[in-house]
Amino acid sequence: MITTIVMVSVAANMIPEVAQAIADIDGVSEVYSVAGDVDLIAIVRVREFDQIADVIAGRLSRIEGVLSTDTHVAFRAYSRHDLESAFSIGYSAPE
């Protein structure tokens, strides 16, 4: 599975509608309304790299109200469980 994080700038008066339209796209797993330099962050999960272009350039970028996108491809995922395991290697807490 290939995960991409897409930062989306949106016309201010269209944020809820654009967020829902993005969420309705196949391949988009989550959409967050955020504070900061962008308005929305979309998480896109696809099986093949070619699908990234289909989802983002072919559909997401064309939604009315989307002003720009900035796409980041994830190389590796870390979860709290993974980090706890990494920091506890070879160490047993005294009982």
The pLDDT profile of the chain, 95 residues, written as one tens digit per residue, is 999 999 999 999 999 999 999 999 999 999 999 999 999 999 999 999 999 999 999 999 999 999 999 999 999 888 766 555 555 555 555 55
pLDDT confidence of residue 86: 54
Domain-embedded: residue 34: yes
**Domain containing residue 60:** 2-87
CATH of the domain at 37: 3.30.70.920
Its pTM surpasses 0.75: yes
Domain-embedded: residue 35: yes
How many separate domains does the chain show?
1
Domain-embedded: residue 76: yes
Cα 1 to Cα 18: distance, rounded to the nearest angstrom: 25
Locate 75 and state its tokens.
């190389």
Cα 16 to Cα 22: distance, rounded to the nearest angstrom: 10
Domain-embedded: residue 43: yes
Domain-embedded: residue 92: no
